[in-house]
Amino acid sequence: MPMYEYTCEKCAHEFETLVFSGDEPECPECHDKKLHRRMSVPARPVESASAPSSCGVGPPCGAVGCRRVPK
C-alpha cells in the first residue's frame, strides 16, 4: 500500500494518501476523482544520535554499512 501525492484537477487541493489495491482515491476537499498524481521523493530514514552518520570514507553509510575497521 504505497503513499502517493496528488493534486485535484477541480479544486487544486494538494494532498497525499495511502492507496490500497483496487481503490480509486478522491480529493478530501471536494470529493472529485479527477486527480493528477505528482512525483514524490521518498523520505530519508532518521539517523539516531548515537550512530555515526559516516565512517569517514565515501558517502554516509551509518554503522551497519561501514566497512572501516576500527583501530
CATH of the domain at 12: 2.20.28
Output the pLDDT for position 9: 97
Q: Is residue 63 part of a domain?
A: no
pLDDT number for residue 50? 57
pLDDT in tens, 2-61: 888 999 999 999 999 988 888 899 999 999 999 999 987 776 777 765 555 555 555 555
Whether 25 contacts 19, CB under 8 Å: yes
Is residue 11 in a domain? yes
Q: How far is CA 2 from the centre of its chain?
A: 9
In a domain, 26, yes or no: yes
Q: Which domain, by its residues, includes 15? A: 1-40
8 by Cβ neighbours in 10 Å (0-12 / 13-18 / 19+) ranks as buried
Residue 21 resides in a domain: yes
61 part of a folded domain: no
Domains: count for the chain: 1
Residue 52 lies in a domain: no
